[in-house]
Amino acid sequence: MLPARAASVRRSLAAAIGLRLAAVFGLIIAVQVGACLYENLGDHAFFARNYVDIEVRTVGALLHRGPGGALVLDEARIPAYYAESAAPRYAFRIIDPFGRRIGERNGQILSNLMPPPARISAAPFNWFRIAEGGEEFHIAGGAPWPSGGQVVWVEVATLGDPEWRRLWVLLVELAKDVWIPILPIVLVAFPVAILTVRQSLKPLQVAADQAQAIDARAGSFQIDDRNVPYETACFVAAINRLLGTYQDLLVTQQRLILHASHELRTPLALMLLELGRMPGEGARRLERDVAGMADLVNRTLQLGRIEAMRTPCREEVDLVQAADDAVHSLRPLIGQRGCEVEIAVRGEERFMGDLTSIREATRNLIENAIKHTPAGTRILITCGPGFLLRVEDSGGGVPLSPPDALFEPFRKGSASGDGVGLGLAIVKKTVELHKGRINAGRSTLGGACFEIEFPCAAKAGA
């Protein structure tokens, strides 16, 4: 699993591909916009024709049927820039098929450029002119416009376009040449591409979830490579080969440790017997060293046994009885250290689990509190409510930060402390075997507090 900070910084592959697609679409739009601007601004006649076409549509839309069925001009909707003034700059004229004016504004401008015809033919023509004096955007033009079941002739003109209506023309051209063709493609292709990438990466995410859920105690370390595409299957096969090698190494290591520990138990026990018969301080020091080695071997065997188990045994466990047995077996050490040990019962529910490992874990927790606190320390063992066991003391508190470091194998709270650093590791492995929880913190007595809780699903009779 990635650390929380790394997971928050890393960007998903789908997001990276999405950004690249967005960049590609942005480049396409930019090129298309550039082509449209070049086509309109680089060719004055082309741009002017587009202006005439749009103004013809704008003016033609002002026509509607009057009360007698004749076409009339909606005066209220005429744009303000066509208003008649001392220096008019915009003009329009609408002529029916018989040459009659339906409406106009500043018609003299158009009459100077193109006199109105007496009658429009069955197929009225388009016309377009640009002033020859070099004046900027002095243009005029006309085009047929269907309205009310007949075709009229709409003519428009501008002298310089001071209101910059050409900008609106440019926006219309951009919409027609860029946004209308490309936007639907972007709106459809972009989500489809992202969804396709996510669906394509889903088998890889499933494989990653399987790898993350692998338990070292499980019988198989393999990731399921069925129903995955070829590229993902190659990656999964490589990971499976790596996991297979790791599994072989782990099994070999466990066998080696267990075999070596088992072979050492008998010689160490014989050495202790022989040293017990020998007088002298040197023999006592050697006896203590050999006893420490024997303790290391025994705890290594216990830890190896727990790690080798895939599921806990189904035996009835009583935490109160386990705590009472542990205190009874540790009476000599309790007396030697002058500790005050109390068992508080908050519940006596039984549950199903591996009785041997739970007894050993309970004993290790209590022994740890006795050995690693000052003489005369008060120790409180609480059983319950439920399947909870808490061991508290009035000593110096948890010696390491973070407290979870104490549960690492061969990690001791102090370099000068007794023990080999496997007691709390055995406790943690026992809790993990039963899928419970373990916490280390500050006790209300002022010292350390270790708390383990087993799942309610393990209740006896469940």
pLDDT digits (tens, 9 = 90+) for 375-414: 899 999 999 898 999 999 988 887 666 666 777 776 665 5
**CA gap 300, 268 in Å, rounded:** 14
230-308 topology per CATH: Helix Hairpins (1.10.287)
Structure tokens at 323: 């705590």
On whether the CB atoms of residues 91 and 107 are closer than 8 A, the answer is yes
pLDDT digits (tens, 9 = 90+) for 9-34: 566 777 777 788 888 888 888 888 88
Q: Where are the domains of the chain?
A: 4-40+173-207, 43-163, 230-308, 315-458
Rounded Cα distance between 128 and 142, Å, is 7
Return the pLDDT at 325: 92
Percentage of the chain with pLDDT > 70?
A: 82
Q: Which long-range contacts (CB under 8 A, 24 or more apart) does 403-410 make?
A: 403/439, 403/440, 403/441, 404/440, 406/440, 407/438, 407/440, 409/303
The three-point CA angle 304-461-386 to 5° equals 75
What counts of helices (H) and strands (E) characterise the chain?
12, 14
CB atoms within 10 A of CB 141: 23
pLDDT in tens, 312-358: 778 888 999 999 999 999 999 999 999 999 999 988 888 888 888 88
Q: How far apart are the first and last CA of the chain?
A: 33
Q: Do domains 230-308 and 315-458 have the same CATH topology?
A: no
Tens digit of each residue's pLDDT (9 = 90 or more) over 60-77 = 898 888 877 788 888 888
pLDDT at 1: 45
C-alpha distances out from residue 376 to 364, 373, 416, 417, Å: 19, 8, 19, 17
Q: What six digits make up the tokens of 325?
A: 């047995």
Which residues face 71 on adjacent strands?
Answer: 65
pLDDT value at residue 86: 64
> What pLDDT, in 10s, does the model give residues 42-60?
788 888 888 899 999 999 8
CATH of domain 315-458: 3.30.565.10
Quickly tell me which residue has 């025994």 as its tokens. 298
The whole-angstrom separation of Cα 275 and Cα 453 is: 42
| Predicted local confidence at residue 64, as pLDDT | 86
**How large is the C-alpha radius of gyration of the chain?**
46
> DSSP assignment, residue 178?
I
For the stretch 173-219, pLDDT in tens is 888 888 888 878 778 877 888 788 778 777 777 777 777 776 655 55
